[in-house]
Amino acid sequence: MPAVKPAPPGLLDSPARNFSASVVVFLVALPLCMGIAIASGVPVSAGLVTGIVGGIIVGFLAGAPLQVSGPAAGLTVIVYDIVVNHGIETLGLCVLVGGVLQIICGALGLGVWFRAVSPAVIRGMLTGIGVLIFASQMHVLVDDVPPGGGLKNLVTIPEAVSKGLPWPKLRSESERSAKVDLLKASGALHERQEILRERVAEHVPTDFAPVLGDENDPATIVIVEGLAEDAEALAATQAEIVEQLDGVREAFVAAGLDKGQKSERRVAHLAEATEALAAARDALASAGDPSAEAALEVRRKVDAAEDALLDFEYSLKNHDIAAKLGLLTIAVIVVWQFLVTKVGPLKPLNVIPAPLLAVLAATVAAWAFILPVVYVEVPASLADEIRFPTWTVLRTMDWQAVLGGGLLIGAVASAESLLCAAAVDKLHKFPKANFDRELFAQGVGNSICGLLGALPMTGVIVRSSANVRSGATSRSSAILHGVWLLIFVALLGWLLALIPTTALAGVLVYVGWRLIDFAAVGELWKLGKGELVVFFVTVAGIVAVDLLSGVVAGIILAAIRLLTKFGKLNAKVEIDESTPPGAPPIVHLRLQGAATFLKLPKLAETLDEIPSNADVRADLTELSYIDHACVDLLAEWRAQHEDTGGTLSVDWDLLEDRFRTAATPAANGIADGNGNDVVTEDEPVTKPI
């Protein structure tokens, strides 16, 4: 009678344990949702929305009930590239395409295939992502903006360090308080201007460059008419921002920040911001008369206004203070994790997440000492940040970029989610994950996030392991963590504005460092130099070019290496010197590697070297695979050899096993049914036909 699989725990199983676990996961997820959003170049609300959807929606549908989904550090590189090169209005459609791909693959039962990637490529991908996150967030740690791509961010880390090295000189409390107020005010203005710019971008895409004067072009007509319909409301919003900047100007002068050594730069940036905002207001006001020229002018002016606000905010920054606050965040994480893992009496406190404690410590320090650093920009309402795709966006979108970005998001998110699900399975005793259902659930979640203009999601090992460690037994803990995120954002979102941006950067610097897999170098070296080359090629491609190029380069190199290994066959003929005089010679035929039709000529040449009357004894213990063509050749050669008075001794059962049965893992490689190693660690593991 077949064994009955245990049923998974019900939704309401162990309510007390799942409730407490959900609180822990919520506390872990909150700072990560915000930090990953900032690292991705989008507002923090986009990360929080993804966390909410990942908990409430995906939690109900998941095929891995104890896995927790949300925005993941592994996708920040892809998202940042999409936002920078194609605009944030493109991101939602890319995430939607990726989600639909996941739904289709899950429905077709293709979940397990997303795990069929060389471990060297996976570890190289995670390491490359870790390097990129670490490099970019080192700049954010000192309240700076990452200067460019991955390689540029990496080589300019010394510049960021030099900005943060000086010991902070705290001015008077009144001056610090005034600076904090101005930083928050300019940040709020920038948040409003960014939302307005995104609304304009929905009408006038980033790559809009029509032939001016050709007003009959259908795409141009859609753009200019859509902008004209919304121009009055957009102009009113821009006018409000200009009015608010006037209040900032008055506070700037009253605080005396227009005096001193840095005053010239600050005054210049403030004047530039005022002029740029006013120009954007005038351009929007005149956009009611539709034309391609007006549309382009509006886009340029609104973009320039946002850049000018960023420059003014930058002039108020204190890189030295931000650096020390960021280092405090990292120090709290490291020290707390050491205490709760190494100090016996403190181990029960392991349920308190280190990132949350670190962000809380930095926030309290910033509040207590009134530190003039950049704080998280929070919208007045979460609904303000929801970006449903408009008809204009759909009509004018660069669909090649959308499909390319969507396929990349779908592939990477699927692989990361299913690898995470496999890892979570090892942490608990409950029924294992249904990969196809999990992939389908992730697709539904990403489709919803795409429609809302939020970040893409994956299963996240940090939150998932915290969930299991905290005693979760069912999917209710993941669902509840999404509920707590929603309640917090709806009722206590104003608290987020108290968090210094450098604190979230500190968390991600630590996360990026932990993603860099230093141990892989030694472990892959033991498996063979080829695996290590695949690892480094993947990392180098990701850092120097982009994520897709690095992963594709790694996969191609791994495939070439596999084909090379798979086509390798060593065939040796050794004559036994102890053969009695006058007796037929005893010959040992040793086959190593994979015997495929590609090596048929070599195998035939080796067999031809054997004396006609020899007693041939075939040693197949180091043969990993043999195909039908080589089996036929051995059978035919045996018949001919016996006709000439010779013999051939072969373990035909073992040969049949090589041909028809996949090898099974053993302690030092791959073993057959008798426990004999047939593939060593540095040889490819292949599944025979």
How would residue 667 be classed by pLDDT, with cut points 50, 70 and 90? very low
Domains of the chain: which residue ranges?
15-166+321-515, 173-317, 569-680
Per-residue model confidence (pLDDT) at position 292:
81
pLDDT > 70: percent of the chain: 89
Query: What CA–CA distance (Å, rounded) separates 342 from 347?
Result: 8
Per-residue model confidence (pLDDT) at position 455:
95
Tracing tokens 């931000």 back to the chain, one arrives at 322
Tracing tokens 């903006």 back to the chain, one arrives at 145
Which among 92, 93, 202 is positioned nearest to 453, based on CA atoms? Answer: 92
Query: What CA–CA distance (Å, rounded) separates 587 from 579?
Result: 9
How would residue 562 be classed by pLDDT, with cut points 50, 70 and 90? confident
For the ranges 19-23, 595-599, 651-655, which has the lowest average pLDDT? 651-655
Query: What CA–CA distance (Å, rounded) separates 185 from 193?
Result: 12
Per-residue model confidence (pLDDT) at position 11:
60
Whether pLDDT at 2 is above 60: no
Q: Residue 402: enclosing H or E segment and its boundaries?
A: helix 399-425
Query: Which DSSP string do the residues of 160-219 spell out, in sequence order?
Result: HHHHH-SPP----HHHHHHHHHHHHHHHHHHHHHHHHHHHHHHHS-TT----TT-TT-HH
Phi, psi dihedrals of residue 69, rounded to the nearest 5°: -105, 155
Which among 33, 60, 63 is positioned nearest to 46, based on CA atoms? Answer: 33
Whether pLDDT at 687 is above 50: no
Query: What CA–CA distance (Å, rounded) separates 450 from 170?
Result: 44
Residues 6+ away with beta carbon under 8 Å from 71: 32, 33, 36, 37, 40, 47, 50, 51, 54, 455, 456, 457, 460
110-128 pLDDT, tens digit per residue, is: 887 766 677 888 888 888 8
19-55 pLDDT, tens digit per residue, is: 988 988 998 888 889 889 988 888 888 999 999 999 9
Whether pLDDT at 4 is above 70: no
Query: What CA–CA distance (Å, rounded) separates 273 from 276?
Result: 5
536-547 pLDDT, tens digit per residue, is: 999 999 898 877
How many Cβ atoms are within 10 Å of 365's Cβ, its own excluded? 16
Q: Say yes or no: do domains 173-317 and 569-680 share a fold.
A: no
Query: What CA–CA distance (Å, rounded) separates 434 from 445?
Result: 17
How would residue 10 be classed by pLDDT, with cut points 50, 70 and 90? low
Query: What is the DSSP-derived secondary structure letter of residue 577?
Result: T
Per-residue model confidence (pLDDT) at position 120:
87
Residues 6+ away with beta carbon under 8 Å from 7: 431
Mean pLDDT of all residues in the chain?
A: 83
Tell the burial category of 43 from Cβ atoms under 10 Å away from its Cβ (0-12, 13-18, 19+): buried
126-172 pLDDT, tens digit per residue, is: 888 889 889 999 999 999 988 877 889 999 999 999 999 888 878 88
Most trustworthy range by pLDDT among 292-296, 391-395, 662-666: 292-296
Per-residue model confidence (pLDDT) at position 442:
96
Mean pLDDT of 190-200: 85
Query: What CA–CA distance (Å, rounded) separates 249 from 157?
Result: 34
Per-residue model confidence (pLDDT) at position 56:
95
Per-residue model confidence (pLDDT) at position 643:
86
Mean pLDDT of 248-265: 80
Per-residue model confidence (pLDDT) at position 173:
84
Per-residue model confidence (pLDDT) at position 210:
60
472-495 pLDDT, tens digit per residue, is: 888 999 999 999 999 998 888 888
Whether pLDDT at 213 is above 70: no
Contact between 447 and 99 under an 8 Å Cβ cutoff? The reply is: yes
Architecture in CATH for domain 173-317: Up-down Bundle (1.20)
For the ranges 114-128, 211-225, 266-280, 499-513, which has the lowest average pLDDT? 211-225
Query: What is the DSSP-derived secondary structure letter of residue 428?
Result: -
Tell the burial category of 340 from Cβ atoms under 10 Å away from its Cβ (0-12, 13-18, 19+): middle
How would residue 683 be classed by pLDDT, with cut points 50, 70 and 90? very low
Tell the burial category of 395 from Cβ atoms under 10 Å away from its Cβ (0-12, 13-18, 19+): middle
Mean pLDDT of 567-596: 83
Report helix angle 399-425 to 76-86, nearest 10: 170
Side-chain-facing half-sphere of 369: CA atoms under 13 Å: 17
Mean pLDDT of 201-213: 68
Query: What CA–CA distance (Å, rounded) separates 413 from 266?
Result: 43
C-alpha of 415 from chain center: 10
Per-residue model confidence (pLDDT) at position 484:
94
Whether pLDDT at 392 is above 80: no
Whether pLDDT at 603 is above 90: no
Query: What CA–CA distance (Å, rounded) separates 159 from 168?
Result: 17
Whether pLDDT at 325 is above 90: yes
347-372 pLDDT, tens digit per residue, is: 888 888 888 899 999 999 999 999 99
How would residue 451 be classed by pLDDT, with cut points 50, 70 and 90? very high
64-75 pLDDT, tens digit per residue, is: 999 999 998 878
* β-strands 615-619, 647-649 pairing: parallel
Amino acid at 499: I
Its pTM surpasses 0.85 = no
Contact between 440 and 106 under an 8 Å Cβ cutoff? The reply is: yes
Which among 178, 322, 350, 155 is positioned nearest to 252, based on CA atoms? Answer: 178
Is it true that domain 569-680 has CATH number 1.20.1050.10?
Answer: no
* β-strands 586-595, 569-575 pairing: antiparallel
Q: Locate 56 and state its tokens.
A: 């409430």
Most trustworthy range by pLDDT among 104-113, 133-142, 184-193: 133-142
Instruction: Return the bridge partners of 625, or none.
Output: 594
